[in-house]
Amino acid sequence: MSWIDIGHIDDIPLLGARVVKTPVGCVALFRTGKAEVFAASNTCPHKRGPLSEGIVHGQKVTCPLHNWVFDLNTGLAQGEDGQIAVYPVRLDGGRILLNAAAIGKRSAA
Amino acid sequence: MRKQRLIVIGAGMASGRVLDHLIEADPDAFDITLFNAEPRGNYNRIMLSPVLAGDKSYEEIVTHDDAWYATHNVACRFGEAIARVDTAAKAVTTQTGEVLAYDKLLLATGSTPFIIPLPGHDLDGVIAYRDLEDTRKMMAMGPGNRVVVIGGGLLGLEAAAGMAARGVDVTVVHIMGHLMERQLDETAGFLLRTSLEEKGITILCGANSQQVLGADGHVRALRLDDGTELPCDLLVMAVGIRPNAALAQTAGLAVGKGIHVDDQMITSDNDVLAVGECVEHDGALFGLVAPLYDQAKVAAQTLLGQQAAFTQKSLSTKLKVTGCDLFSAGDFADGTGREDIVFRDPARGIYKRLVIEGDRLIGAVMYGDTADGNWFFGLIRDATPIEQMRETLIFGPAYQGGTQSDPLSAVAALPRDAEICGCNGICKGTITDAIAGGATDLVAVRTATKASASCGTCTGLVEQLLQVTLGDAFTIPASQTLCGCTTLSHEDVRRLIKSRALQSQPAVWQELGWSTPNGCHICRPAVNYYLLADWPLAYRDDPQSRFVNERKHANIQKDGKFSVVPRMWGGITTPAQLRAIADAAERFDVPTVKVTGGQRIDLLGVKGPDLPLIWADLNRAGLVSGHAYSKGLRTVKTCVGTDHCRFGTQDSTGLGIKLEKILWGAWTPHKLKLAVSGCPRNCAEATCKDIGVVCVDSGYQIGIGGAAGMDVKETELLAQVPSEEEAIEIVVAVTQAYREGARYLDRIYKWLGKVGLDWVNETVVDDLENRKALVARFELSQSIYRKDPWAEHTVDAKKYAPLADLTMEAAE
Ligand code: SRM
Ligand SMILES: Cc1cc2nc3c(=O)[nH]c(=O)nc-3n(C[C@H](O)[C@H](O)[C@H](O)COP(=O)(O)OP(=O)(O)OC[C@H]3O[C@@H](n4cnc5c(N)ncnc54)[C@H](O)[C@@H]3O)c2cc1C
Ligand code: SF4
Ligand code: FES
């Protein structure tokens, strides 16, 4: 599997998120801990709210528009009928590596 | 029939109240003649301390002015003392020998300060602290002068602090082991001493005065019995007062320590009444105004032939010295069968001690944080059983109902006649009967009994009663707790953040037992706000705990784009600013430019990554964030006022701009909207704002608690003041009180519903020390927050852009 280096973990505020534009659409990277990052779709299945603008807590994010809460491990919405795509991501030292195939890229640039 | 003649001797605080009540109830009942030995009419004697400290002028503390006496036909004989009273002839004789007859006589001669008869006590420059003359002598002192105050009680310390504020070198000589020993225990006395010493006052306790030394007939020093000499230019004795009963005594009225009165305030002569510090009622003497006001009301009713009776209540004390926050009530001497609950926070200089006997609170002493003083005082006065809340009592009212104290058993234990709803006077029994009669939810109980239908502070108690009575058939709504991460309520959390000095989010999660690692979208913004409001210096706002609007300083919209609203101070703009807005709108393809309801312009549909760029453009034209997105100051709407309008009474636009410049940037529990109208036509709609000022000829009417959103509410009048300066001070102080006290996401009107207008009035308007302290705390916080967030964010513009763009590379 090939991984793409997209930046340093400190580029994302603790309990915050940043967006990466990819061939599958906007992917949000959520930093849930000092050295813990999740990647998921940035688009809320309810009314397309930008999830990277939500409040990050535990391993979850709350959509800023109408407060749906998503578990970043599974992408499932709590108590609502909805799910977002989640993508494999890993940390190498401070670098954030996103799985290339999962976001529609054939090779690492 | 000719009117009855009423002669009043003494124009002090007590008689002033009698006159108010008399004239309000029946302005034509009496021909009133008012004598006063002081060459002036009624004024608020307790405010002499702020006058001394330079916070007030004498004019501001006058309670009845010439116009008032003239309007109400009160014949004034100021500067004339009565020398004799002849009760048989029903006449008084003035100093100059003039004789006047009365039908009713009211003695309100107050008390005389006690002067210790030390050798030299009659030297020039030895004074007491009682009236304006004394105050002026102290005000004549300044840097380079030395003053000794004998007496470390309430009065002596106010005198000392007032002069110290003027740069005078002050020494307090106190005979007892600690300050204010009648009101404070040793620990509180020690804390008080420390803060007074920080103000530069020298304090000698356990010091016995022996002799006043003079030179050329004027005081030069005080000598103590250990031989110490304390040089001074003025010596103030504040060692106690004696009822001024001499006149009554020579008139043959019954006098003990003071003039004997019955429950109707009548002396031993049926046509002579007495009120104030000169009286003795049921063996007690009086030295604070609260009971005098009760007496005054009764005396007025008695004079009007109505039934009324004076009853003594227990009293509480505060010291009017800035930075010395103390409160004491009831009896706190050690004793067998008494138990203490003590809370100390040395880091913040907080000390609280409660004295319990049986299941009653009988005394309370607090230093540093006195916010709950009145609540404790109520428990003492009403002899409320406290057994069930003993464990958490010291944390005060907001804590009661917290789960740790098992609120249900506390409520279950209350007797049937315990008052639950103070506003409507509804007892527990009435509520439980209604529940038994089929009122099985809050709304039904409200409808049936009116309980919790006014201010709503007892809602929690009513819900607990529902649960106790109905058991599992009723569950207390989850909204009681802050959110699912905790079992505590907003009030508990606010209180514990203060009392346990929790200064970071991790401290809150840890110490208060949060069930999640770092909260959720509901509690994080609330806790972030509470921390920054309570610890403006130690804690820094955490953007990640803010709703996106407040993190990005723009309003997010349904399509994820943003709206940008620059500030237009007081609704005023310039051609240059309008041009800058127009240019920015064109440059960033803003689809909608709209005039808002807040007297400014909204640029809707700005793309996220463009935000820092458009701000930079607007900044260059002098435009800053309008905080249209914040739980903070939004706008101050104004009307054109005196600048242009033919009806304007004051510079409403100017005041609006000043207020906006003072308040902007401050975070508040919910959004804060103000308006200033130039006259009662109210074109700026000030009466439906959180805080609204309506200008009138004689000054500024400040109303609070308005709203025009989901609820429409008219403001309630908080104060009317003559000067713009004072209007601003009150607006700032009430804003700070709201910041410190309200629950997150409560607008002012909701907060007001909980604390009551009277409380705000007492603490923000009447209590000048507290008002100033609130303003000072607001300013401290604003030293961090009064700045443009846009300007700060334009520098790290790249945070607003995507972290990476992998779509481009895909095209390679
Ligand atoms: C722009 C504006 C409407 C307009 O085009 O005029 C506006 C727009 C919004 N208002 Fe408002 N309000 C605007 C004036 C008002 C007014 C009138 C006023 O202030 O004179 C009111 C009624 C007065 C009041 O607040 O008491 C008002 C009562 C509300 C409420 C109800 C608040 C309440 O406590 O009941 C909300 C909801 C909330 O804050 O929770 C709200 C919320 C909103 C939000 C922020 C909704 C949101 O959270 O996304 C809207 C943002 C739209 C956007 O995309 O920018 N807006 N809103 C006005 C901006 C004024 C400004 O210059 O800052
Ligand atoms: C500096 C200071 C600070 C205080 N602070 C507080 C406080 O914070 N809280 C509190 O509760 N209390 C406080 N007090 C106490 C409070 O001021 C008194 O309890 C209150 O003023 C007593 O009211 P009174 O009407 O009985 O007497 P006074 O207000 O003293 O009025 C009596 C008047 O009668 C006049 N008089 C006397 N004899 C004659 C006569 N023969 N003929 C004509 N006139 C006569 C006197 O000149 C005097 O003006 C303070 C007092 C002082 C001096
Ligand atoms: S409220 Fe009064 S001062 Fe303001 S514009 Fe209207 S009429 Fe003029
Ligand atoms: S768009 Fe996300 S909750 Fe509605």
What pLDDT sits at residue B152? Answer: 94
What pLDDT sits at residue B318? Answer: 75
Q: DSSP readout, B32-83?
A: EEEEESSSS--B-GGGHHHHHHTSS-HHHHBSS-HHHHHHTTEEEEET--EE
Contacts of A54 in chain B (CB under 8 A): 521, 548
Summarize pLDDT for B50-64 with one digit per residue, the tens.
899 888 889 988 989
Contacts of B805 in chain A (CB under 8 A): 20-21
Q: DSSP readout, B296-318?
A: HHHHHHHHTT----------EEE
Q: Which ligand is nearest to the CA of B130?
A: 2
Per-window interface: B 575-634 vs A, CB < 8 A:
608
Sequence ranges of the domains in chain A = 3-103
What pLDDT sits at residue B516? Answer: 83
Residue B646 contacts A where some CB pair is shorter than 8 Å = no
Cβ separation B521–A62 shorter than 8 A: yes
Pairwise CA distance, residues B653 & B656, whole Å: 5
Summarize pLDDT for B255-267 with one digit per residue, the tens.
999 999 999 999 9
Pairwise CA distance, residues B773 & B765, whole Å: 12
Identify the residue with better confidence: B800 or A109.
B800
Cβ separation A105–B809 shorter than 8 A: yes
Cβ separation A12–B803 shorter than 8 A: yes
Cβ separation B558–A47 shorter than 8 A: yes
Cα B598 to averaged position of ligand 1 atoms, centre (Å):
9
Residue A94 contacts B where some CB pair is shorter than 8 Å = no
Cα B463 to averaged position of ligand 3 atoms, centre (Å):
47
What's B196-223 look like in SS3? HHHCCCEEECCCCEEEEEEECCEEEEEE
Name the stretches of chain B with pLDDT < 50. 401-405, 423, 454-456, 479, 810-812
What pLDDT sits at residue B455? Answer: 42
What pLDDT sits at residue B92? Answer: 97
Cβ separation B809–A22 shorter than 8 A: no
Q: CB-CB: which of B524, B559, B807 is closest to A55? A: B524
What pLDDT sits at residue B479? Answer: 47
| ipTM tops 0.90 | no
What pLDDT sits at residue B690? Answer: 98
Q: CB-CB: which of B544, B546, B805 is closest to A14? A: B544
B455 burial (CB, 10 Å; 0-12 / 13-18 / 19+) is: middle
Q: How confident is the model at residue A108 (pLDDT cuts 50, 70, 90)?
A: very low
Contacts of B556 in chain A (CB under 8 A): 50, 53, 64-65
Contacts of A65 in chain B (CB under 8 A): 556, 558
Cβ separation A6–B556 shorter than 8 A: no
Q: Which fold has domain A3-103?
A: Rieske Iron-sulfur Protein (2.102.10)
Pairwise CA distance, residues B601 & B86, whole Å: 77
> Is the minimum distance from the CB of B375 to ligand 3 under 6 angstroms?
no
> Is the minimum distance from the CB of B475 to ligand 1 under 6 angstroms?
no
Residue A31 contacts B where some CB pair is shorter than 8 Å = no
Identify the residue with better confidence: B125 or A33.
B125
Q: Is the pLDDT of residue A17 over 80?
A: yes
